Structure 1
Amino acid sequence: MIGEIVIGGIIGWVISYFLPCKETLYNIYSQLFKGITRATGIHNVIQKEIKKSTTSMGEALRIKEFENYTEIPEVGYSKEKMMELLKKYFEYDSKKIKTKHISGSFYAGNSERNEVIGEATKLFILSNPLHADNCPSVRKMEAEVIRMTANMLHGDENTRGMLTTGGTESIILSERAHYQNGIKNKGIAAEECEIIMSVNAHPAWLKGCELMHIKPIIISADKRNALDFEEVQKKINKNTILVVCSAPSYPHGVIDDIERIATYCKSVNVPVHVDACLGGFCEAWGEAAGFNVPIFDFRNEGVMSISCDTHKYGYAPKGSSVLIFRNEELRNLVFFKYPKWTGGLYCSPSIPGSRAGNNIAGAWASLLFTGKQGYIDATRGILTTSKNLKNELSKMSNIKILNDMEQDTPVVAFTTTDLNIYKVSDCMNKEFQWEFNTLQFPAAVHFCVTEKTIGCEKQFIEDLNKALDIIRKDPKNPKYNVWAPVYGMTSSLPDIDTLEDMVSQVIAQYCDVI
């Protein structure tokens, strides 16, 4: 079975790589592969293997040290018991976090700031900006977070925005605004709207396209792993409602050629959105910290909206992102209005109705406590570490850097030229407590430097060399087979339905296992 999958994958790769019309050929081959596997019974074998792997993964998720709670208790627990349980859960997670060098995920490394944010969220735990008349301070804090972020991104007095629950909501709301703009102001039919994005753009854009039935035009990356400008020029047409740029892209930490793309797009009246969800609150201070960061913000006239996560390098609590628009007219297209409801006039600025006021208070507290100098200092430490890591990795003969070496971003992306990078990554995790983010097409990993991992470069390189030696001596060691088999299957199986089913089963384990 594995042999047939591998052979099929090789044939598919050859077809898709060497012949023109790649997407059409891949779709034909995918359908052919699907038909053959179902006709021969191989599909059932594949499904059985997937079920076995995902069930095993689910078992690994179980926390056997804890009692399981599946029913609301007849009588509520005492405060003392609840605090004991919460502390037990917190310490279990904290132990894992403290002993690891984690890529991204936990961005804030200032304990005093975390204490201040903790107090802010505790004070406003029941606040809800939906009821602005009862929570006027929360409404004010939200407006101030938006204005501070807009000014950081070189907005002007016309710039407007909103606070969201995270990067995905910011992206989807940006899509909604540009979708409405295309329909109402440009006369584009709803079913014909198109968004141009790179193959490296965040999948949240595709989620929004699926929800709104927008056609995504996914184009290749150039040699820098950036959005290909020439391809953008070719793909723009009368139905294009938006071009998406990244600052930087999640996989490879590359900032697209935003100045060039935005200038061209402005000349043909197509708006540009800059997805700075990952690095916005770091890159915005890069120039002041003395680093080479391309201009990605509203100083580019063609940029009409920017998403920027406060809960990453803004060091705010999770569940906080800011979406900024160049003007009020575009921002207001996001709003949902229904004035004829029996419950009264209804209007919501974002996807949720009720929102957590304590997250707004936490973001506000983080910006004020950290201050410009605090952000500049943190950015200097992060980008220095990232730059040093890239320089050291570039000296290693069996490592290939996937970043643009001329740009300074917090993401360090690389692969190996002689070993399975996924096995190396698993070894780094199991033996040396380094947790990377796994990439594919090509197989690679990245490490996103945070405030918590500033100055890690020496230990990183030492441990990486040890991991490379371990895998080189025993490349088939099953101990380091956590992600290698999974990504091996995704690269060799051309049947998209089977791949989506596999991913769904993995997600289901995370949702269901107690």
Structure 2
Amino acid sequence: MSLAPNLGLAVQQIDNMTLCGALVASPFLKAANQLDTRLTGTEPWKIVVGTAGVSLGVAYLYSLTRHRIPLRVRAKAYIFKWIKRIPAIRRKIMDEKSKMKANMTEELQKDCMDLPDILVLPANGFSHDDVIQKTKEYLEYGNMDWESGALSGGVYNGSKELSELITEVYRLALWSNPLHPDAFPGLRQMEMEVVRMTCDMFQGGPESCGCVTTGGTESILLACKAYRDRALERGIEFPEILVPVSAHAAFDKAAQILGMNIQHAPMDPITMRVDLPAMKRLITKNTAMLVGSAPQFPHGSIDPIEEIGQLGLKYDIPVHVDACLGGFIIAFQGEAGYPVGGFDFTVPGVCSISADTHKYGYAPKGSSVLVYKNPELRNYQWFSCPDWPGGIYATPTIGGSRAGGIIAATWASMIHFGRSGYVESTKRIVETTRRVAKELADIPGLKIVGVPEVSVVGFGSDHFNVYAVTDGMKNRGWSLNSLQFPVSAHICITTLHTLPGVADRFLNDVREITAEIMKNPGACNSGTAAVYGMAASIPDRSIVSELIGCYLDALYSSKLDLNISPKNV
């Protein structure tokens, strides 16, 4: 066989490629020649300095894009930072902060004004009886009748029988600490059983695992930490959290603490579930985890977990389900006769779930459970320090020492209620939730916001500022949650609201207050409406954070901060 034709074809192809290369390179060669002409006679050191300067400039511009916080956000913060340095604006901000701090300090202390502050250690310790008496005295302050169901969420059971059980169990485990499993092996057994029971609730297989934490915020933070470290191991330099805008603020807190960026996908304006196409568009090569809520806190809607799970599978991104609020309800809704869509480990793509035992698990405050689909994921959560002079140190959660009494009391609550107990309480709560939602929707002037599938009923108004309702209800002894973006409010139904007459009293009060407001809808821009309206109108959210700081400062204020003389304290 002759090679000549093949060789000729190859030569022709090479010539064509050379010609194409020449055509592509031509503009660059032309530019290079022009540059050579311009620089003819220029001293070499100037060329070197100029080249170095341009290189450094390009490197700096590139570095601006390599940051966990997007350039747009940093630029906006930088502009507002300088605006706030304008003397007139700074004085205005400081004046408002001073006013707010004074108001908050007075508001938080008003119920205890006749209670002397203990500002230094007593010279001689109080006796046992004196301490008990003092404790009772302190805890009797306040006029919120939470035992009658006046509080939205907050206290999820509160029955005398359960309180006595938890108190006794906590007393027995008072000095125990899971940091020392050799000293307290039974406590280790309790924590393991709490985790295994929770895994079973969420239909995890034999590989599912988890840990007990101090609350939903820690559970969320640890899940974010695990997926951050997984992303870093895979070469993602700036791992991002992708959440619905309605996801709990604990994810924003976790992002700040862990040095992660966080992206917020918008909600569907009707259902208040995450806008799935928008969430998909926000996925990037840096996305380390996807989040869905079951349900979300503001409006009680359950995000489309199954669809989020499919996104996770498609892009190989772990999906975390935040069931901190309603995990111990949704797990039993099917058996209670109120089934909801998929949300647990049977959903492909779901890798972890957080659920607060101190809410509808009816454990004491300070307990939550974080469970994973398999140990490989949980391993990213661990902390170990093998080179510490104090010995090899390792902890499963954020805390080192932890309150064994809380773990024991959580375990006691779960085995006390059992599956049948949780199913029964779920039935009562969901029944009450749906009744409240139906009757609120029938009140002229009000509308339901979101889909109240579990235990939260969100409501708003197209006729007036709904904060007027929350203020009116506060005057009648109720404590509801005010929401923003959009303006709305909610009540979180607990066991206390299922007691005879509580829901009736709540609905009657809302009807009367709303009817009064509807007589003059425009006259409701004071109180909570004024505060939230002012906050929503400020474009620089850092100023809002500064003002909120006044509230946090006031939490730790004493009567000295009210200029009350120490001799009167």
Q: Given the two structures, how large is their TM-score scaled by the length of structure 2?
A: 0.81
In 1, Cα distance between equivalents of 2:529 and 2:284: 41
> How far apart are 1:38 and its partner, in Å?
5.6
* 2:220 alignment partner, one of 153, 167, 171: 171
Q: Which moved more, 1:87-96 or 1:460-469?
A: 87-96
1:379 match: 426
1:400 match: 447
Q: Secondary structure at the match of 1:343?
A: coil
1:471 to 2:520 alignment: no
Q: How does 1:8-407 map to 2 (within 5 A)?
A: 39=86, 41-62=88-109, 63-93=112-142, 96-98=145-147, 101-184=150-233, 186-189=234-237, 192-223=238-269, 224-404=271-451
> How far apart are 1:270 and its partner, in Å?
1.0
In 2, Cα distance between equivalents of 1:37 and 1:120: 54
> How far apart are 1:101 and its partner, in Å?
1.1
AA aligned to 2:236 is: I
Structure with the greater alpha carbon radius of gyration: 2
In 2, Cα distance between equivalents of 1:360 and 1:34: 45
Q: Which moved more, 1:162-171 or 1:450-459?
A: 450-459
In 1, Cα distance between equivalents of 2:494 and 2:248: 20
AA aligned to 1:147 is: R
Residues 94 and 282 (structure 1 numbering): CA distance in 2 closer, same or farther, change over 3 Å? Answer: farther
Kept in 1: contact 2:147–2:496 (CA 8 A): no
In 1, Cα distance between equivalents of 2:83 and 2:414: 57
> How far apart are 1:449 and its partner, in Å?
0.1
Q: 1:3-42, CA deviations, whole angstroms, 9 ceiling, x for partnerless residues? A: xxxxxxxxxxxxxxxxxxxx99999888777766764724
In 1, Cα distance between equivalents of 2:460 and 2:82: 34
In 2, Cα distance between equivalents of 1:169 and 1:349: 12
AA aligned to 1:462 is: N
Q: Secondary structure at the match of 1:333?
A: helix
Q: Secondary structure at the match of 1:494?
A: coil
Kept in 2: contact 1:265–1:302 (CA 8 A): yes
AA aligned to 1:250 is: F
AA aligned to 1:367 is: M
> How far apart are 1:100 and its partner, in Å?
5.5
> How far apart are 1:329 and its partner, in Å?
1.1
Residues 44 and 123 (structure 1 numbering): CA distance in 2 closer, same or farther, change over 3 Å? Answer: same
> How far apart are 1:485 and its partner, in Å?
2.3
> How far apart are 1:390 and its partner, in Å?
1.0
* 1:491 alignment partner, one of 513, 536, 540: 536
In 1, Cα distance between equivalents of 2:235 and 2:89: 49
> How far apart are 1:470 and its partner, in Å?
3.5
AA aligned to 1:154 is: Q
Question: Sequence identity of aligned pairs in percent?
Answer: 38
Q: Secondary structure at the match of 2:398?
A: coil
Q: 1:351-403, CA deviations, whole angstroms, 9 ceiling, x for partnerless residues? A: 01000000001100000111111111111111001101111122233112112
Q: 1:116-143, CA deviations, whole angstroms, 9 ceiling, x for partnerless residues? A: 1111111111111101111111111000
1:440 to 2:484 alignment: yes
> How far apart are 1:437 and its partner, in Å?
0.7
Residues 50 and 384 (structure 1 numbering): CA distance in 2 closer, same or farther, change over 3 Å? Answer: same
Kept in 1: contact 2:175–2:404 (CA 8 A): yes
Q: 1:282-340, CA deviations, whole angstroms, 9 ceiling, x for partnerless residues? A: 11111110013222110112000000000000000000000000001111211111111
Q: Secondary structure at the match of 1:305?
A: strand
Kept in 2: contact 1:398–1:418 (CA 8 A): yes
AA aligned to 1:492 is: S
Q: Which moved more, 1:50-59 or 1:499-508?
A: 50-59
Residues 44 and 160 (structure 1 numbering): CA distance in 2 closer, same or farther, change over 3 Å? Answer: same
In 2, Cα distance between equivalents of 1:30 and 1:434: 39
2:566 match: none
AA aligned to 2:268 is: D
Kept in 2: contact 1:30–1:496 (CA 8 A): no
> How far apart are 1:458 and its partner, in Å?
2.3
Q: Secondary structure at the match of 1:129?
A: coil
> How far apart are 1:416 and its partner, in Å?
1.9
Q: 1:151-209, CA deviations, whole angstroms, 9 ceiling, x for partnerless residues? A: 0010111001000000000000001111111122x2222xx211111111111111111
Q: 1:25-73, CA deviations, whole angstroms, 9 ceiling, x for partnerless residues? A: 9998887777667647244224313321331121121111312101011
Residues 444 and 24 (structure 1 numbering): CA distance in 2 closer, same or farther, change over 3 Å? Answer: farther
In 2, Cα distance between equivalents of 1:124 and 1:482: 46
Q: 1:193-242, CA deviations, whole angstroms, 9 ceiling, x for partnerless residues? A: 11111111111111111112111111111232111111122122222110
Q: Secondary structure at the match of 2:335?
A: coil
Q: Secondary structure at the match of 1:307?
A: strand
Residues 315 and 230 (structure 1 numbering): CA distance in 2 closer, same or farther, change over 3 Å? Answer: same
> How far apart are 1:434 and its partner, in Å?
1.6
Kept in 2: contact 1:100–1:433 (CA 8 A): no
1:16 match: none
Kept in 2: contact 1:99–1:433 (CA 8 A): no
* 1:454 alignment partner, one of 498, 505, 527: 498
Higher relative contact order by CA 8 Å / sep ≥ 6: 1 or 2? 1
> How far apart are 1:99 and its partner, in Å?
5.5
Q: Secondary structure at the match of 2:141?
A: helix
Q: 1:443-480, CA deviations, whole angstroms, 9 ceiling, x for partnerless residues? A: 111100001111533222210111123434566889x9
Q: Given the two structures, how large is their TM-score scaled by the length of structure 1?
A: 0.89
RMSD: 2.3
In 2, Cα distance between equivalents of 1:150 and 1:78: 45
Q: Which moved more, 1:432-441 or 1:40-49?
A: 40-49
AA aligned to 2:310 is: T
Q: Secondary structure at the match of 1:288?
A: helix
2:55 match: none
2:472 match: 427
Q: How does 1:407-426 map to 2 (within 5 A)?
A: 408-426=453-471
The count of corresponding residues between Structure 1 and Structure 2 is: 485
Q: Secondary structure at the match of 1:177?
A: helix
Consecutive unaligned residues in structure 1, runs of 5 or more: 1-22
Residues 387 and 239 (structure 1 numbering): CA distance in 2 closer, same or farther, change over 3 Å? Answer: same
2:563 match: none
Kept in 2: contact 1:102–1:435 (CA 8 A): yes
2:38 match: none
Consecutive unaligned residues in structure 2, runs of 5 or more: 1-69, 560-569
Kept in 2: contact 1:194–1:217 (CA 8 A): yes
In 2, Cα distance between equivalents of 1:110 and 1:125: 22
In 1, Cα distance between equivalents of 2:381 and 2:73: 36
In 1, Cα distance between equivalents of 2:312 and 2:83: 45
